[in-house]
Structure 1
Amino acid sequence: MPRSRTYTWEDPGTTASAVGGTAGLEFMRDVLAGRLPAPPFAATLGTVLEEVGPGHAVFTLVPGEEHYNPLGTVHGGVFATLLDSAAGCAVHTLLPAGMAYTSLDLTVKFLRPVTAASGRIRAVGSVLSSGRRTALAEARMYDAEDRLLAHATSSCMIFPAPASTPASAPAPASTSG
């Protein structure tokens, strides 16, 4: 029996152009409050940023069969995405204005299977160490009964945010000499 799922998202350029324009915690609070749109992957998977604080970020997901692998459980890539998001966004909260980050690696340990019957799951990210060029973060994933489902560590590279043109700004006029 075929199933379908429809979803929408906003222009990712709006949020991308804001990276580095404010301190990381302010940026993440703007995403949380809806002043900046969530990235498209959040709509695709159904993840929700639920909480941010200094060195801390929490994402949630209500698993459904659209997340299943051929074995009838939530695919490990969905776990990895939630854990990477929680760890990386925890790092982002500590960045000063003008800086950005990217994940260098992600090591995941899967501890329990998840199905649609598992209920809402949450990934809790926290920064373990943060320097000028790198940060180390971890994330733990829990089910509705606070059982640990998975654990991850992530190394992140910190670098100056690339200069970008705001999404709503007009393109510069061309001149000829």
Structure 2
Amino acid sequence: MGRTRTYQWDDPAVLADAAGRMAGIDFLRELRAGGLPRPPVNHTVDFALDEVEPGRAVFSLTPGEEHYNPIGSVHGGIFAVLLDSAAGCAVQSTLPQGMAYTSLDLTVKFLRRITVETGTVRAIGTVISKGRQTALAQAQLVDATDRLLAHATSSCMLFPVPPAR
């Protein structure tokens, strides 16, 4: 018999508007505290922002069968979603009001497989270098014993938030 999963999300325009009006760290802290709705991708993949401080962001996920690839382990795309989120939000946490970022690239190294038996995993993102137009961040995906499961680096482009229409 097939399995099902149902979820819902809020209008993502609310988040985009708030992000443009707040410093990155304030936006992420408000998101973590529940003062802003979680982004749709957080509901789709079912992961959460657990920690944020300037230059650092931590997300967690408890893997389920819904994350599996055809060979019985968590799909590499789920690894990438967590690592990209952690690295990108680490960069976002350093941005002043009126500045935004977008990922230019993401290089992921898969070191170990993840299954439901792995338990909750954490993606820990940190900023390595930040200039006026670009930033470099890394993220590590670890299990409950801090065993490294995957590693990523990400280059991000920094730019002024476009004016509201």
- Give yes or no for TM over 0.5: yes
Residues 89-146 of structure 1 show CA distances to partners (whole Å, capped at 9, x for unaligned) of 0000000110000000000000000001110000000000001100000000001221
Aligned counterparts of 2:144 and 2:130: Cα–Cα separation in 1: 30
- Structure 2 segments unaligned to the other structure (5+ residues): none
Question: Corresponding residue for 1:87?
Answer: 87
* Contact 1:92–1:101 (CA under 8 A) maintained in structure 2: yes
* Contact 1:107–1:154 (CA under 8 A) maintained in structure 2: yes
For residue 20 of structure 1, give the secondary structure of its aligned residue in structure 2.
Answer: helix
Matched, 1:122 2:122: yes
For residue 19 of structure 2, give the secondary structure of its aligned residue in structure 1.
Answer: coil
Q: Compute the displacement of 1:38 (Å).
A: 1.3
Question: Corresponding residue for 1:6?
Answer: 6
Map 1:63-74 to 2 at 5 A. Answer: 63-74=63-74
Question: Corresponding residue for 1:168?
Answer: none
* Contact 1:19–1:161 (CA under 8 A) maintained in structure 2: no
Question: Corresponding residue for 1:162?
Answer: 162
Question: What RMSD over aligned residues (CA atoms) do the two structures have, in Å?
Answer: 0.8
Aligned counterparts of 2:20 and 2:135: Cα–Cα separation in 1: 17
Residues 59-87 of structure 1 show CA distances to partners (whole Å, capped at 9, x for unaligned) of 00000000000010000000000000000
Map 1:40-119 to 2 at 5 A. Answer: 40-119=40-119
TM-score (norm 2): 0.98
- Structure 1 segments unaligned to the other structure (5+ residues): 166-177
For residue 157 of structure 1, give the secondary structure of its aligned residue in structure 2.
Answer: strand
For residue 3 of structure 1, give the secondary structure of its aligned residue in structure 2.
Answer: coil
Residues 27-81 of structure 1 show CA distances to partners (whole Å, capped at 9, x for unaligned) of 1111111111111000000010000000000000000000000010000000000
Map 1:136-155 to 2 at 5 A. Answer: 136-155=136-155
